[in-house]
């Protein structure tokens, strides 16, 4: 081997060339900043066939600029969602404190599975988890948890604990012919299907409980379903509550759900299912729990204070969950992946634990601190805790309260504007979150009347076949007519979660996660609808 060439290679790619790296990062940052003056595009140019037909590895060693050039077209062709007109889904721009945390993590590249591979980054994970747990569960003694690769995996952790509760030893022996089910809300995230399938319970054994008009699981139907299941000697592994549905921000009554589960478990003499809360979307509302609405130091107006008081009541429910999923990359405006699974009681992690003999690769692992002995992954990036701690401390609790209150304020403003338009119907008027779902029907139709007739099951099949497609047709019409430099990009869902008489209700959607969105954008949404 040519030692000189080898040393040149090592010097280029494994020694810190601060000027070159700083210059390339500055160029990338400039490209992102340039997006501020451009309008968001629906889809940027993509050609998957060309990508498949042209795999590429350079033959000769190059330099850092070659690395930049190889990815830059795709970097430039990816929307950062920094434009305030992005309102279509539960995604916003990542905050720059999170960027600092992510960069710090990538420079060290820790693996959080054991202390050996992460050292003080493992300590940072404990700090981040405890901080989030105290926000969510509100100052408890012994929480624990880990960061995961996404909300689906966090939900999987909660369901797995439940499976081990009702079938001890299932980790080794499997279900062994037992009939096991999981329960979620009809408005819950589709990841519930993924979890049931991948856990081996089976998607046909996932029971979806209908919701009320505010997208909260109906407790009377939960109670009757538990009676039915337990009478048939079916094992209920877990119940997944939702704290902020993806479309309409519905929040389940978790405290009452716990009462129902405890009561029925005692009545039938069975282990209580794991009560897991999927708070991937709504967890950040817990930052408003301690806001003093009497002192009102941020001088919020009375209508917004009323919403915050409702939020504070909802937040209380999280304390009654056994475990919780959060996605910091949603309302926390952090970088992907920043999901976490958190248990209310550290001892519950015993249901996931392995022995050191099961993990010979981590032969020096310590069960008291090394997550490798209970995590799904053997390689866990540290980006979550770095982004979380940087964001929480950079922005501060008061800063987060302002960001969250602003999202709630703009969502309510849009609800109020749309409610004044006769051919519109706000579908999630009773939820207190950052999302708005609504109908737009042709002018001349009374949307409220048609909706109430649907709820009462008074519409004929012919009327349903006429009215519901109109909601999508007008959404597509606005999309074609909109000025991309002025009009917000909205989302659409084929079923926002409330399904009276089994009818899926389509809806337009706006999600206020972007802190740069303002009243003028909200008012123009209403104006563009009035002019359709």
Q: Tens of pLDDT along 140-173? A: 778 889 999 999 999 999 999 999 999 999 988 9
pLDDT at 362: 63
Tokens of 199: 């856990």
Q: CB under 8 Å, gap of 24 or more: what pairs does 254-257 form?
A: 254/317, 254/318, 254/320, 254/321, 255/316, 255/317, 255/319, 255/320, 256/219, 257/217, 257/219, 257/222, 257/320
Cβ atoms of 251 and 314 within 8 Å: the answer is yes
- 199-223: per-residue pLDDT in tens? 999 999 999 999 999 999 999 999 9
pLDDT, residue 341, reads 97
Average pLDDT over residues 488-505: 97
Torsion angle of C-alpha atoms 276, 281, 284, 290, degrees rounded to 10: -60
In this predicted structure, which of 25-29, 109-113, 315-319, 415-419 has the lowest mean pLDDT? 109-113
Q: Flag whether pLDDT at 272 surpasses 90.
A: yes
Residue-level pLDDT at 465: 97
Q: What tens digit of pLDDT does each residue of 10-23 get?
A: 999 999 999 999 99
Three-class DSSP category at 480: helix
Please give the angle made by the CA atoms of 407, 413 and 419, to the nearest 5 degrees: 135
Which of 23-37, 150-164, 273-287, 484-498 is predicted least confidently? 23-37
Segment among 2-11, 369-378, 417-426 with least mean pLDDT: 369-378
Buried b (16+ CB within 10 A) or exposed e, 345-377: eeebbebbeeeeeebeebeebeeeebbbbbbeb
- Phi and psi torsions of 445, nearest 5°: -90, 145
d(CA 391, CA 393): 6
Q: Which pTM does this prediction carry?
A: 0.94
Length, in residues, of the chain = 532
333: phi > 0 → left, psi -120 to 50 → alpha, else beta; which?
Answer: left
Q: Strands 235-242, 180-185: parallel, antiparallel or unpaired by DSSP?
A: parallel
Please provide residue 135's backbone torsions phi and psi, each rounded to the nearest 5 degrees.
-70, -45
Q: CB under 8 Å to 33, separation ≥6 — which residues?
A: none
User: What pLDDT sits at residue 376?
Assistant: 86
Q: Does residue 36 surpass a pLDDT of 80?
A: no
* Mean pLDDT of the 414-441 span: 97
What integer pLDDT is reported at residue 361 of this predicted model?
Answer: 62
Q: What is the pLDDT of residue 148?
A: 95
Q: Average pLDDT of 476-486?
A: 93
Read off the pLDDT of each residue in 350-355 and give the average, rounded to a whole number.
Answer: 79
Strands 180-185 and 206-209 come out as parallel
Count of Cβ atoms closer than 10 Å to residue 163 Cβ:
25
- pLDDT at position 364 over 70: no
Q: Are 372 and 146 in contact (CB under 8 A)?
A: no
Helices (H) and strands (E) in the chain, counts: 17, 11
Q: State yes or no: cis peptide before 337, omega within 30 of 0.
A: yes
Stretch 318-322: mean pLDDT, rounded?
97
The yes-or-no verdict on residue 230 having pLDDT over 80 is: yes
Residue 152's pLDDT is what? 96
Q: Distance between CA atoms of 341 and 153, rounded to whole angstroms? A: 8
Confidence of residue 497 (pLDDT cuts 50, 70, 90): very high
Least confident of 43-47, 108-112, 259-263: 43-47
Residue 151's pLDDT is 95
- Counting residues of the chain whose pLDDT is more than 90, the rounded percentage is 80
pLDDT tens, position by position, 428-472 = 999 999 999 999 999 999 999 999 999 999 999 999 999 999 999
pLDDT value at 94 more than 90 = yes
Average pLDDT over all residues of the chain: 93
**φ/ψ of residue 293, rounded to 5:** -75, -15
Whether 360 has a pLDDT exceeding 70, the answer reads no
Which two structure tokens, joined as six digits, stand for 532? Answer: 């359709």
The three-point CA angle 327-331-335 to 5° equals: 60
**CA gyration radius, the chain:** 25
Query: What span, in angstroms and rounded, lies between the C-alpha atoms of 440 and 418?
Result: 9
pLDDT of residue 363: 58
Phi (first) and psi of residue 36, to 5 degrees: -55, -30
Q: How confident is the model at residue 78 (pLDDT cuts 50, 70, 90)?
A: confident
């Amino acid at each position: 081997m040519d030692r000189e060439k080898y040393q040149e290679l090592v010097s280029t790619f494994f020694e810190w060339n601060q000027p070159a790296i700083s210059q390339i990062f500055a160029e990338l940052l400039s490209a992102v900043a340039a997006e501020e003056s451009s309008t968001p595009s629906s889809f940027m140019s993509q050609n998957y066939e060309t990508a498949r037909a042209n795999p590429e590895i350079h033959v000769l060693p190059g330099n850092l600029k070659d690395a930049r050039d190889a990815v830059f077209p795709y970097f430039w062709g990816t929307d950062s969602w920094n434009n305030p007109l992005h309102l279509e889904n539960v995604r916003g721009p990542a905050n720059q404190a999170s960027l600092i945390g992510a960069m710090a993590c990538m420079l060290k590249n820790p693996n959080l599975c054991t202390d050996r591979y992460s050292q003080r980054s493992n300590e940072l994970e404990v700090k981040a988890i405890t901080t989030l747990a105290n926000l969510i569960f509100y100052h408890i003694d012994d929480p624990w948890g880990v960061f995961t690769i996404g909300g689906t995996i966090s939900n999987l952790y909660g369901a797995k604990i439940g499976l081990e509760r009702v079938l001890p030893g299932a980790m080794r022996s499997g279900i062994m012919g037992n009939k096991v089910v999981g329960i979620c809300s009809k408005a819950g995230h589709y990841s519930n299907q993924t979890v049931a399938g991948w856990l081996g319970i089976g998607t046909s054994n996932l029971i979806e409980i209908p919701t009320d008009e505010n997208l909260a699981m109906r407790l009377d139907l939960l109670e009757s379903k538990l009676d039915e299941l337990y009478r048939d000697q079916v094992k209920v592994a877990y119940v997944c509550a939702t704290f902020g549905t993806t479309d309409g921000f519905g929040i389940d009554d978790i405290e009452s759900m716990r009462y129902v589960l405890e009561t029925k478990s005692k009545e039938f003499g069975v282990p209580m299912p794991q009560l897991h809360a999927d708070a991937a979307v709504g967890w950040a509302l817990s930052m408003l729990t301690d806001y003093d609405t009497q002192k009102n130091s941020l001088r919020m107006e009375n209508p917004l204070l009323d919403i915050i008081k409702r939020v504070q009541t909802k937040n209380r429910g999280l304390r009654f969950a056994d475990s919780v999923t959060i996605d910091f990359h949603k309302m926390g405006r952090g970088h992907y992946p920043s999901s976490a699974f958190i248990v209310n009681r550290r001892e519950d992690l015993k249901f996931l634990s392995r022995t050191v003999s099961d993990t010979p690769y981590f032969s020096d692992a310590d069960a008291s601190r090394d997550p490798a002995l209970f995590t799904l992954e053997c390689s866990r990036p540290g980006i979550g805790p770095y982004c979380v701690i940087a964001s929480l401390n950079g922005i501060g609790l008061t800063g987060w309260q302002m960001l969250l209150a602003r999202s709630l304020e703009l969502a309510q403003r849009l609800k109020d504007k749309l409610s004044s338009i006769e051919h519109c119907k706000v579908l999630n008027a009773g939820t207190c979150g950052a999302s708005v779902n609504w109908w737009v029907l042709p002018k001349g139709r009374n949307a409220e009347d048609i909706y109430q007739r649907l709820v009462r099951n008074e519409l004929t099949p012919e009327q349903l076949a006429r009215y519901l497609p109109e909601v999508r047709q007008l959404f597509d019409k606005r999309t074609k007519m909109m000025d991309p430099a002025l009009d917000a990009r909205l989302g659409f869902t084929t079923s926002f979660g409330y399904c009276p008489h089994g009818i899926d209700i389509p809806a337009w959607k706006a999600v206020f996660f972007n802190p740069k969105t303002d009243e003028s954008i909200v008012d123009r949404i209403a104006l563009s609808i009035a002019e359709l």
